[in-house]
Structure 1
Amino acid sequence: MLLALQAQLPSLHPPICAINNEPNNCEPAQGWKLALLYLSLLMFAMGEGCMRACIPLLGGDQFSNDDPKKSQLKCSFFIWLKFVNSLGGIIGLVFLVWMENNLGWNIGFMICAFVVLVGLLVAASGAPFYRIQKPNGSPLSISRY
């Protein structure tokens, strides 16, 4: 969301630069504009890293290993998860890059923010149906033995 806001609001942009005429005379972003950019990139990286690590674990936890049918569904879940992740990467590399080059960075970031918001709403709406397992111990208590 911060990247989308920074791309949308001109007051958060560095001064306009004629890069074709004088490429070495461009003024870089400074102060709170640069801090906001770094903060938004840091939050994006942390969110992406947490999502990439947690989604397979939490998704695989929804299937029981006791039932062979559920075990087969677990395998299918991981196949579809990998397919959807790859499809998202292809869409991001082709469609979003084209949109950002032709329509502007603000449109590309707004589309990304909207897709993240829709994903958050879908995940939150399914929360009552999630299978939550009680932990059998923590890694710290198991490592003592």
Structure 2
Amino acid sequence: MSKEGASGGEEQQTKQVKDLEDKLKQYERDLEDASNELKIKDELCQKSEECIKEKDRLIRKLMEKLETKEAEMRETKTTHAEYFSKAMSDKDSQIAQLIKRIMLLEEKLKKQIEEAKEKLEEEQRICREKIEEANKTCA
């Protein structure tokens, strides 16, 4: 029985060695899987960092464009305000000239009316004198 006991012990040891070898292979596979997963995560992280850098670059570029547009808008607003101010000044000047012209025409018209009244009164006086003479001649 000692041969059987020794051979049973060897079988048990062989089984234990095989189990340990299987566990070692499983650990090696797990380690390789973990290493591959780590590589994938590292690549994803690198891509994410590159993506973030690219987005930062695009944001900076958009900010520059925005600042340029804002400067253009301020310049346009200033130019428009200056143009509008000049246009209003020109219009005010034109209105003042028109008012002056109207006042001169009004004064001229008043003189013409006064002259016409005086002429009419003179003609009426002459007519009255002629009527009075005619009445005296007829009477």
TM-score interval for Structure 1 and Structure 2 normalised by the shorter chain? under 0.3
Greater helix proportion? 2
TM-score normalised by structure 1 residue count: 0.25
Bigger relative CO (Cα 8 Å, ≥ 6 apart): 1
**Which of these two proteins has the greater Rg computed from alpha carbons?**
2
